[in-house]
Amino acid sequence: MNHPIPYGRQHIADEDIAAVADVLRGPFLTQGPHIGAFETAFASYIGSQYAVAIANGTAALHLCCMALGVTTETRVITTPITFSASANCVRYCGGEIYFADIDPKTALLDINAVRAVLEQHPKGYFSGIIPVDFAGYPVDMAAFRDLADDYGLWLLEDACHAPGGSFMDQHGVIHRCGDGSLADLAIFSFHPVKHIAAGEGGMITTNDEALYKHLLRLRTHGITNKPAEWTEPYVGEPERGGWYMELQELGYNYRLTDMQAALGTSQLQRVDAMFARRQEIAKRYDEAFSNTNVSIIIPPISVSHAYHLYVIQADDRKGLYDFLRTKNIIAQVHYIPVHLMPYYRQFGWKPGDFPNAERYYARCLSLPMFPTLTTDEQDYVIASVKEFVGA
């Protein structure tokens, strides 16, 4: 190929550009009507009662931890195979992160490993779990909900990779990722390589009205101007005019702009078609690599994988990565285990702590996966991988 093929790429259509241009010509660039419209449309798509638009996925995780009451006394379990923000959000609030190993069959947080960590400590030692729908493979949140309830824990679902994904629980009920039926809160990202590209941006979904209202306040400095939420007036304040507001707690400016919201809403109109295209691409990869020297993860029929990433595992990952670069194929690695990062090593985590995660990392490689990937481009990627591995 004469042009590079990245692992991910946004698709901006003419209607997306028109939607943003309309905002630029209008009276609101931020804190305008496009925010609520995007939240309503996204909640409808996901199936949750509430949605709160946030500046980005990391900010969404941070606010969730604040709303859930994470403090310096809080301990939370998550997976080492994720972007570091899934763990960092707890640290932002002063909490302590514990890791548990992954299930090698799915690359997801292993519920049995989590249970083992919980059993090593008295009840009440931990406060929550942050499972991650890694690569778009939905976590069995029903099983995690049962486990969390047994130990009195909250669940924060990092669904950044999985809008539109779903799984069927043991009772035959289908749950969409982030729909609020199981996790207390869930978060999504609108980074350009994600399913919905808004430049940057994120969303928090929930079915809990109290958490929803708290999040609305936290994303805007902790300020409210709603009479129903007013406490006592300022000392010496004789009256409350239209200017009156209250800083009720320490929050942040984590707002999304109307331009981003308009872009996200426009992208949402095509999300089903883009989701279907990702699954078509994954199916072609599955068929191509089914009898080769690379390993692939194929979910059961009860799982609808969102395929933010298509990950293969190869014995000579570094060699394959470098070879694909010579072919103008820009593959990527997702992820270096978080517990091996220098920041987390200072807390005592070390190589060998989570062998499944570390073996996965040593072999994983994300191939190009985005809706506008052409058949010719995908064939070229497949042929190049097979050339290297000798399939």
Strand 295-296, strand 310-313: pairing: antiparallel
Q: pLDDT tens digits for 219-246?
A: 999 998 877 776 665 555 656 777 888 8
Angle at 277 (CA atoms; ends 271, 281), nearest 5 degrees: 145
In contact, 310 and 331? CB cutoff 8 Å: no
Q: Where are the domains of the chain?
A: 5-268, 271-389
Q: How far apart are CA 40 and CA 160, in angstroms?
A: 18
Which amino acid, one-letter code, is at 123? Answer: K
Rounded to an integer, what distance in angstroms lies between the CA atom of residue 164 and that of residue 150? 28
Decide which of 2.60.40.10, 3.40.50.1980, 3.90.1150.10, 3.40.50.300 is the CATH code for 271-389.
3.90.1150.10
Complete edge-to-edge strand list for the sheet that includes strand 295-296 = 295-296, 310-313, 364-367
The pTM assigned to this predicted structure is 0.96
Q: What is the pLDDT of residue 230?
A: 63
- pLDDT at position 224: 87
Angle subtended at Cα 222 by Cα 221 and Cα 223, rounded to the nearest 5 degrees: 90
Going by C-beta distance under 8 Å and a sequence separation of 6 or more, which residues neighbour residue 187?
Answer: 54, 57, 60, 61, 64, 156, 157, 158, 159, 160, 178, 202, 203, 204, 205
Q: At 76, which helix (H) or strand (E)?
A: strand 75-78
What Å distances lie between residue 273 and 48, 209, 346, 373, CA to CA?
21, 31, 45, 14
- For residues 4-32, give the mean pLDDT: 97
Q: Which residues pair with 223 in a beta bridge?
A: 247
Cβ burial of 3 (10 Å; 0-12, 13-18, 19+) is exposed
- The pLDDT of residue 81: 98
Place of tokens 């909640």: 43
Burial of 173 (0-12, 13-18, 19+ CB in 10 A): exposed
Mean pLDDT of 290-314: 97
pLDDT at 106: 98
Here the tokens at position 152 are: 């009195």
* Percent of the residues in the chain that have a pLDDT greater than 90, as a whole number: 92
Q: d(Cα 35, Cα 43) in Å, to the nearest integer?
A: 12
**pLDDT confidence of residue 225:** 82
Element (H, E) at 376: helix 375-389
Instruction: Kindly indicate the confidence band of residue 57, based on its pLDDT and cuts at 50, 70 and 90.
Output: very high
Average pLDDT, the chain: 96
Question: With respect to CATH, is domain 5-268 assigned 3.40.640.10?
Answer: yes
**What is the per-residue pLDDT across 345-372, written as a single tens digit (0 to 9) for each?**
999 999 999 999 999 999 999 999 999 9
- Residue 239 has a pLDDT of 67
pLDDT computed for residue 226 by the predictor? 78
Please write the tens of the pLDDT for every residue from 248-280.
Answer: 899 999 999 999 999 999 999 999 999 999 999
Report the catalytic residues: 194
pLDDT, residue 185, reads 99
Average pLDDT over residues 13-20: 98
| For residue 35, pLDDT beyond 70 | yes
Of 10, 56, 66, the C-alpha closest to 256 is 56
What SS3 class is residue 241?
A: coil
The predicted-structure confidence for 101-133, as pLDDT tens digits, reads as follows: 999 999 999 999 999 999 999 999 999 999 999
Question: What ranges in 269-339 are assigned the alpha helix state H?
Answer: 271-289, 317-326
Distance (Å, whole) CA 158 – CA 139: 10
Q: How are beta strands 75-78 and 96-99 bridged, if at all? A: parallel
Q: At residue 5, does pLDDT exceed 80?
A: yes
Higher pLDDT, 236 or 313: 313
